[in-house]
Chain A
Amino acid sequence: MRAGRRVPALLALASVALIVTDTLTPLGPLRAFGSATYGGLEDATSAGLRWARGERNVAELEAENARLRAELLAARRVASSPAPADGYQAVPAHVVGFGRDGTVTVDAGSEVGVGQDMTVFDGDGLVGRVLRSGPGTATVQLATAAGASIGARLEGSREVGLVTGVPERGLLRLSLLNPAAEVKPGDRVVTLGSRDMRPYVPDVPIGTVVEAEPASDALTRTALVRPFARFTALGLVTVVLGPLPDDATPAVDAAGGKDPAKRDKEKGSSDKKKSDKGGADKGGAEKPEAA
């Protein structure tokens, strides 16, 4: 009996040790291993599912879509926003895994230049930001996650606030810094934008106000926001890598010039540094091909 209990007791102790270690210092290598192993499997599973549904030969269209969306986003920006760039470098990605922690996996990773704290959006609006990236996949924190908080502003009045997740209801809560600000149902909420465009680029649509909440204190004004993006049915998303390099013309920018799944296979020649260097002279994804 005693011998039969030794293994489970040891494993339970090991689990507790893991929990304590991960709470004190994040276990990066273990997560990187999980990302490399299971990320690849998720990518393959999802690619198989898409293939079975008949979504073939659309990689070029997806890349073009990502580039056009990034251009549209850049064109939406009003003159007052601080970002210096004329456009964004972007890659298309598929959502290949849905988590229970308000996170999703996308099939673009550090091999195509995706790194921590990059903005992710889709055709409807803001999706979230990249939490961490593995070689071929990245983990994205959704805007509705319990831990997410996004600088935001009302599109009309330019009032500044903070958007946090209300995970139980799939809604967001906007807390305006100005307690006297006018907010009414139907107002559109967009991102405020961060320094160096990380984690959020400015003026990505987030959602519309559905309900102005009664003031709980005199310091902030809060409202419930329905997000534009449908977080339970995410498909194709766009990851913003950064601003376009100055000398690049929009025609060559398209960092998403190729299917990310294909690019993942060209290992060695397409790690993040090279992709960044490529961005300096020619623009993102053209480099791995030339190398």
Chain B
Amino acid sequence: MRAVVLSVLVVLLAPVLQVSVVNGLALPGGGPDIVLIGVIALAPMLRPGAGASLGFAAGLAADVAPPADHTIGRLALVMCLAGWVCARIPEDAGAGRRAAVAAAVALGATLAAGVLAALLDGTPWGTALAPGVLAWTTGLAVLVTAALSLPPRRRSFGRGRGPRHRPRDPYPPGRRLA
């Protein structure tokens, strides 16, 4: 349920955040791709089919949210595959492996989106494969994924394991045997 709510938030708000806030900051090199980072961060909590659906919906949203003026479906294709790959990470994978997959997917998806931009919409190669966007997106995707998969943080997205969820237990931890 929580994953569904977060997915809807990513699909609805990430494209808005991207064009209204991030792109307006004029960061050196172009700034990160928030939609892709959202997909990469969220997809590992979903099953592969759901991860691909999240990627498709988020990509399509980024394709049609103004002021986008490129071929519709370009980002949907790339992010659908990105979401699927990220959702295939095994549940018991460690933080290191998750971060590595996130980096690889962020890198691959940004490059693929750039190649499609150059081929489909005639974007000059220098702009389509801007190294600044690549660096920002990969770096942030790794950071966010690592932060989400570190043990203390992971609890809040887990299924209620760990000591933090014990307060529902009527007995305080120290008096269990009393």
Contacts and interface: CB of A to CB of B under 8 A. Distances in A.
* Co-complex (A, B): yes
Interface of A: 4-8, 11-12, 14-19, 21-23, 27, 30-31, 33-35, 37-39, 41-42, 45-46, 49, 95-105, 131, 134, 137-141, 146-147, 167-168, 232-233
A134 B119 CA distance: 28
A8 B49 contact: yes
Nearest to A137: B66
B19 A101 contact: no
Interface residues of B, number: 46
B156 interface: no
Contacts of A34: 61, 63-66, 68
Contacts of A15: 56, 59, 73-74, 76-77, 80
A38 B15 contact: yes
A100 B118 CA distance: 13
Given A41-B16, A97-B23, A98-B23, 18 more contacts: A7-B53, A11-B56, A15-B80, A19-B73, A19-B120, A22-B73, A31-B66, A37-B65, A42-B19, A45-B21, A49-B21, A99-B19, A99-B66, A100-B23, A100-B30, A101-B70, A101-B123, A168-B124
A22 B21 contact: no
B38 to A, nearest CB: 15
A38 B16 contact: yes
Contact of B16 (A27, A45, A147, A233): A45
Interface in B62-110: 63-74, 76-77, 80-81, 84
Contacts of B69: 99, 101-103, 131, 139, 141
B16 A11 contact: no
Contacts of B19: 42, 97-99, 105
Contacts of B53: 7, 11
Dominant SS at the B interface? helix
Contacts of A11: 52-53, 55-56, 76, 80
B12 interface: yes
A106 to B, nearest CB: 9
B123 A146 contact: yes
Contacts of B56: 11, 14-15
Contacts of B66: 31, 34-35, 38-39, 42, 97, 99, 103, 105, 134, 137-139
B131 interface: no
A140 B68 CA distance: 10
A103 B67 contact: yes
Contacts of A6: 49
A99 B67 contact: yes
B91 to A, nearest CB: 15
**Residue from A17, A27, A100 whose CB has the most chain B CB atoms within 10 Å:** A100
B127 A168 contact: yes
Nearest to A142: B67
A45 B14 CA distance: 12
A62 to B, nearest CB: 18
A42 B12 CA distance: 11
9 contacts: A8-B52, A11-B55, A15-B74, A18-B63, A99-B19, A105-B66, A105-B67, A134-B66, A137-B66
A231 B74 CA distance: 25
B48 interface: yes
B122 A42 contact: no
Contacts of B72: 18-19, 21-22, 27, 30-31
Interface string B26-66: 10001000000000000000011100110110011101111
B67 A98 contact: yes
A16 B64 CA distance: 15
Nearest to B87: A8
**Residue from B19, B61, B127 whose CB has the most chain A CB atoms within 10 Å:** B19
Nearest to B12: A41
Contacts of A103: 66-69
